[in-house]
Amino acid sequence: MTDKPFSDRQKAFVREYLLSGNASDAYRKAGYSAKDANVAGPRLLANVRIQEAIAKKQAKRFDKLDIQADELIARYYEIATADASNLTQLHVGACRHCYGRDFKYQWRTEREWMEEVSQSADRKKPAPDCDGGFGYRRTAAANVDCPECEGLGIPYTVFADTRLLSDQDRALFRGVKQTQFGIEYKMADQSHALDQLAEAIHLFKKRDEGQASLLAEAWAQITARGSKAPIRRDKPAGDKP
């Protein structure tokens, strides 16, 4: 057979065959006579140049799929192995009584106390005193002698400045939401990413045994960190008088 270019019908046949995988069907849809499609279709498919054209297009398609799969695996891997504590951390600080005078309730500022006094007037409640003094900082370390929290302090959440996140941490970060409980950090579901990664690796395992080690690595990283559940709320517990 000479190397003259394919006719429009031959090109259409290749295209249709790639879509349906059915030679007779492709033959008809390419505009050839429908009458002997069941014989002529498979015969055209057996043609060497048609075979080559189909193989070439299929290879291109698989290459594209490979790239997509690799990107997907890389992305799931990034999410599954990202460290949630780079986004939020749980810290423990002083309770209101840790450094109050005689371990009484300590206000942040005089202004905070005054506001509470005026609010209690509105609510017809007795005004709070300021015997514990001022200067409370929740970031101060808990006082081991504090009878109120027994030195355990009060947990609070710290959020990362999202402008400073690494690319991997950014893959985990899905935005913030202001709720009635405070700021809520939304994160990609790491266990879902790991499931997807496992599935993708299972699918590609036969083709490339090397990928399987990624999963083992991901598991090791995640289990080494212990709990992977992100802490989401920033409202400190027991912070109101």
Q: How many CB atoms lie within 10 A of CB 225?
A: 12
CB of 149 to Zn ion, least distance (A): 3
Residue number, 29 or 97, with CB nearest to Zn ion? 97
Residue number, 97 or 138, with CB nearest to Zn ion? 97
CB of 123 to Zn ion, least distance (A): 26
CB of 111 to Zn ion, least distance (A): 23
Residue number, 28 or 97, with CB nearest to Zn ion? 97
CB of 239 to Zn ion, least distance (A): 12
Residues in Cβ contact with 238 at an 8 Å cutoff, skipping those fewer than 6 apart: 95, 96, 154
Residue number, 31 or 147, with CB nearest to Zn ion? 147
Q: How many CB atoms lie within 10 A of CB 217?
A: 13
Q: Where are the beta strands (DSSP E) in the chain?
A: 88-93, 154-159, 173-179, 182-187
* Interacting residue ranges for Zn ion, rule: CB under 5 A: 95, 97-98, 146, 148-149
Q: Record the tokens describing residue 222, joined without a space.
A: 């995640």
CB of 79 to Zn ion, least distance (A): 38
- Contact between residue 171 and residue 78 where contact means Cβ atoms under 8 Å apart: yes
Residue number, 84 or 94, with CB nearest to Zn ion? 94
CA atoms of 208 and 222, how far apart (whole Å): 24
The position carrying tokens 């309770």 is 95
